[in-house]
Amino acid sequence: MQFNSQQGDQSPADAIALRARCAIAGFTLLETMIVVLLVGLLAAIATPSWLTFINHLQLNMAQDQIYRAMRIAQSNAKRDKDIWQTSFREKDGIVQWSIHRAMGKTCILDQVHWHSLSSTIAIYKDKNKKGKSETTLAKPKGDCSNAGVWRVQFNYKGNTNGQLGQITLITKNNSTTQRCVYVSTLIGALRKGRYHPKPNNSKKYCY
C-alpha cells in the first residue's frame, strides 16, 4: 500500500491562501493604527472648535435669559400699573438676575429671588478700544449691601423709567465673544446685539 508522500503537507493553494490571510490581517492592524492616529489628530484639531461652539451656545442662552427677564419686567409693569425692574449683579463670580418691583432709588431687598447664569459667563465691565463702556445700564450707588446692582426699570406704560443703556456679556476666557441686550428707546424698545469688528456711531462694538 502506497502512501502519498504529500499527504499532511500544505498544498500550494493552502499556502497561498494562508499568506493572503496573514497579509490581510497585517494590513488590518496597520489600518487600525492609522485610523486611531487620524482620530487623535482630528480630535486635537476639533477640540478648540468644539469649545468655541459650547461658549457661543452658553453665551446665546445667557443673552436670551437676560432679554426675556427684561420683557417680563416690562409686561408686569403694564399689568400691575406699577414700576418693575430687572436687576443684575455678579456674586462670587456668577452673573445673576432678578425680576421684581422697584424698591427705591438705591437698594433692592435681599429677599428677591436671584437666577444664575452659567459660571462661564461674565458681565463686560472694561472699556472698549474706543474708551467706551459696553455695559451702561444704571448702577445706582448706596450704603446698602446690594449697592451697585445694574438695573433697568419700566413704568406702568411699559416705557423705561428714564434710563437707557445696555448690558454686555462675555465668556470668561474670551472678551471678544460678546452678546448684549440694550434698551434703545424711552418707549421700552429692547434689542439683542453681538460683537462686531467695527464700532457703531456710539463707538460700541456690541450692537
Going along the chain from its start, the domains and CATH numbers come out as 41-194 (3.55.40.10)
d(CA 59, CA 120): 9
CB atoms within 10 A of CB 21: 10
Give yes or no for a contact between 134 and 150, defined as CB atoms under 8 angstroms apart.
Answer: no
Question: Which pLDDT does position 109 carry in this prediction?
Answer: 64
Question: Which pLDDT does position 187 carry in this prediction?
Answer: 92
Give yes or no for a contact between 109 and 102, defined as CB atoms under 8 angstroms apart.
Answer: no
Give yes or no for a contact between 73 and 152, defined as CB atoms under 8 angstroms apart.
Answer: yes
Sign of dihedral through CA atoms 130, 133, 134, 137?
A: negative
Question: Which pLDDT does position 135 carry in this prediction?
Answer: 97
Question: Which pLDDT does position 20 carry in this prediction?
Answer: 55
d(CA 183, CA 203): 16
Give yes or no for a contact between 150 and 135, defined as CB atoms under 8 angstroms apart.
Answer: yes
Flag residues of the chain having pLDDT under 50. Answer: 1-7, 24
The grid cell for 180 is: 448684549
Question: Which pLDDT does position 131 carry in this prediction?
Answer: 96
E strands of 38-148, at which residues? 84-91, 94-101, 115-116, 121-123
User: What is the model's pTM?
Assistant: 0.74
E strands of the chain, at which residues? 84-91, 94-101, 115-116, 121-123, 150-154, 165-171, 174-183, 190-194
Question: Which pLDDT does position 53 carry in this prediction?
Answer: 85
